Amino acid sequence: MGRVTGSWLSGPQIGSPDSIEYRGADLGLPQSGPGSLATGWTRVLGLLIDWVLAYGLSLLFTPLSSPYLGTIVLGVWFAIGVLAVSVFGFTPGQFVAGMRVMRVDLGADRATAEVTGQTSPAAVGIVRAVARQVLIVFLVPALINDYNGRALHDRATGTALIRTR
């Protein structure tokens, strides 16, 4: 009974997770250390830092009693995410947490070369950065993960959040 229940509760499986040695192996990423996929808690830490930063910046030009403060914080967070990821490849929170956004749609050979420093990382670009942020705003795509631990917004934009240290 548990096996039948688990099959529909666990959701659809993308690919065959049983044939993969570790998270990120099919993307050409290392198992651990710099270049490996970031963990969920590290991602949450980066997001928390970005939200606190956006809240602080919003308070510089919006009174605390404003009924629009939440919307302004969301807008500032959105702008920080798009600008920072498209220019630097990471948000301030991701930088502090030791992560960066990397394109993985170029193939495993290119991802391995980028991680090992043989080639310069491919820029995420403004279009992918906007698409990532739009999907994260809806929150649900960030909560749906595949067998690699990549969230839906990363899968949709061909990116992954990797560790830098």
How high is the pLDDT of residue 117? Answer: 62
How high is the pLDDT of residue 47? Answer: 92
If you ran DSSP here, which 8-state letter would residue 108 be given?
Answer: H
130 in helix, strand or coil? Answer: helix
Q: What is the pLDDT of residues 4-46, one digit of tens each?
A: 444 445 555 555 555 668 887 777 888 888 888 888 889 999 9
Which residue has better confidence, 32 or 57? 57
Q: What is the pTM of this model?
A: 0.77
Q: What is the pLDDT of residues 66-117, one digit of tens each?
A: 999 999 999 999 999 999 999 999 999 999 999 999 888 776 555 555 555 6
Confidence label for 151 from pLDDT (cuts 50, 70 and 90): confident
How high is the pLDDT of residue 5? Answer: 47
Q: What is the pLDDT of residues 116-132, one digit of tens each?
A: 565 566 678 899 999 99
> Both tokens of residue 163?
């560790």
* Contact of 94 with 148, CB cutoff 8 Å: no
Assess whether pLDDT exceeds 70 at residue 57.
yes
* Contact of 28 with 119, CB cutoff 8 Å: no
